[in-house]
């Protein structure tokens, strides 16, 4: 692989900001969008379990219902691609087995050879289930995917806005996630900043490095 | 900013894997490491609150105690830089005010002009506190930062291994996080893969795009 320079990286991360107003006339080209979707698919997750679903909302009728259940925010109808990030609710042993089967398929190995890894995962699954942290564990993995995908988008020159301010239960019902055993945690609008978005010009506010990075 | 190509992006994401064995003789050059730290600092978070701390463990004596409280994993002593990602425990109104003060400083605006935004944040803070989700909310933001930083590292050609398998309470006590009001959630080892790491050559296992990306 051909690494990029630190300048290229930092320039993109400084350029990125939570886009409040998108240019509704601009659409992300198909090839670029496919790369964004691949970034989601390739995201790391605990054990590689991928306890998630990425819902790309394209139906205009549904999109137009979203601002009202998103604290009035208009990004859903103005951005190019609007994605709801959801986690697998109440992950089951069957979900773990589906992943094990996928490993066997991709790596062309027997299920038997994966028994140790399967038991290792099931041990963590059981602990999380018993301690009541299973859903949160899965939700956290989704945030990893959001972080990866927003960074990937910035490097491609695509703007994003992460939106936690969504009425999740209403989203789940409207998008059919509830019925399928998934729960939304956050959405991300992708597209291009409008020239009218004055937020783009505001200096980025971060604590100093010394305030958040600690050496021990 | 100068966007990278989709090929460059996807090549890096495919190249990345959870590195089990690092080359203990290789150290990340200072300039590259600074860019990684900047990636952490620049990560997005809810409202921009940055409820986190990134602990870079460099003390050899402490590093050598870590495998025993990390399920026996040896990455802490073999990687180049080992970072513990922690969230702010029981975030207070004072934390919100510290952020508001930072906005005022960076953007050279009055505290009064930020009163509306402050109240907006305090509303969410109160809701999270009352619903018992405050710490989880902050922990999720840390996963965003992990996702951003792992992606940044991959693009720079730096290997990583995210490690949830750490005994968090023991980490918090050993690193002094507990006393300072932070809680570890996950660590990430950064460095360069060892030529002996056979995991590097294994095909990456992901569900098919159609299984995780859904169009509505």
For A158-188, the pLDDT digits (tens) are 999 999 999 999 999 999 999 999 999 999 9
CB within 8 Å: A139 and B140: yes
| Total domains present in chain B | 1
A106 inside domain:
yes
- Contact of B156 with chain A, judged by CB distance below 8 Å, is answered with yes
A1 interaction partners in chain B (CB closer than 8 Å): 11-12, 15, 157
CB within 8 Å: A35 and B9: yes
User: Whole domain around residue B122: which residue ranges?
Assistant: 6-212
pLDDT at position B216: 96
A1 inside domain:
no
> Residue B1 above 90 pLDDT?
no
pLDDT at position B107: 97
> Residue A39 above 90 pLDDT?
yes
pLDDT at position B124: 96
B79 inside domain:
yes
Q: Is the ipTM of this complex over 0.85?
A: yes
CB within 8 Å: B203 and A106: yes
Best of B17, B41, B54, B183 to disrupt the A interface by mutation (most A CBs within 10 Å)? Answer: B41
B1 inside domain:
no
B145 interaction partners in chain A (CB closer than 8 Å): 147
Task: Output the domain CATH number for residue B19.
Answer: 3.40.109.10
Which of B11, B56, B146 minimises the CB distance to A144?
B146
Name the pLDDT band for B60 (thresholds 50, 70, 90). very high
Question: If you average pLDDT over every residue of chain A, what do you get?
Answer: 97
Region B53-80 average pLDDT: 98
Q: What is the token pair recorded at A89? A: 């609710």
The whole-angstrom distance between A196's CA and the closest CA on chain B is 19
B179 inside domain:
yes
pLDDT at position A1: 85
Percent of chain B scoring above 70 in pLDDT: 100
Percent of chain A scoring above 90 in pLDDT: 100
pTM: 0.97
Which of A48, A140, A215 minimises the CB distance to B58?
A215
- Contact of B55 with chain A, judged by CB distance below 8 Å, is answered with yes
- Contact of A60 with chain B, judged by CB distance below 8 Å, is answered with no
> Residue B10 above 90 pLDDT?
yes
pLDDT at position B53: 98
pLDDT at position A81: 98
Name the pLDDT band for B46 (thresholds 50, 70, 90). very high
B89 inside domain:
yes
Q: Map chain B to HEC letters.
A: CCCCCHHHHHHHHHHCCECCCECCCCCCCHHHHHHHHHHHHCCCCHHHCCCEEEEEECCHHHHHHCHHHCCCCCHHHHCCEEEEEEEECCCCHHHHHHHHHHHHHHHCCCCHHHHHHHHHHHHHHHHHHHCCCHHHHHHHHHHHHHHHHHHHHHHCCCEEEEECCCCHHHHHHHCCHHHHCEEEEEEEEEECECCCCHHHHCCCCCCCHHHHEEEC
The whole-angstrom distance between B65's CA and the closest CA on chain A is 13
> Residue B49 above 90 pLDDT?
yes
Region B155-177 average pLDDT: 97
pLDDT at position B154: 98
């Amino acid at each position: 692989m051909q690494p990029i320079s630190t300048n290229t990286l930092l320039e993109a991360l400084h350029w990125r900001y939570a886009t409040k107003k998108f240019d509704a006339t601009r659409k992300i080209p198909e090839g670029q969008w496919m790369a964004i979707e691949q970034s989601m698919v390739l995201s790391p997750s605990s054990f590689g379990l991928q306890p998630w679903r990425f819902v790309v909302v394209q139906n205009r009728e549904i999109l137009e219902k979203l601002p009202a259940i998103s604290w009035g925010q208009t990004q859903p109808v103005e951005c190019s691609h609007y994605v709801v990030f959801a986690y697998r609710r109440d992950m089951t042993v069957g979900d773990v087995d589906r992943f094990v089967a996928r490993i066997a398929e991709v790596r062309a190995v027997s299920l038997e050879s994966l028994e140790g890894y399967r038991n290792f995962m099931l041990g963590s699954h059981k602990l999380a289930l018993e301690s009541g942290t299973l859903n949160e564990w899965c939700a956290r993995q989704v945030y990893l995917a959001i972080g990866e995908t927003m960074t990937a988008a910035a490097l491609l020159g695509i703007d994003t806005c992460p939106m936690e301010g969504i009425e999740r239960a209403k989203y789940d019902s409207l998008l059919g996630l509830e019925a399928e055993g998934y729960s939304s945690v956050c959405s991300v609008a992708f597209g291009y900043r409008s020239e009218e978005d004055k937020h783009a010009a505001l200096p980025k506010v971060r604590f100093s490095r010394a305030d958040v990075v600690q050496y021990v």
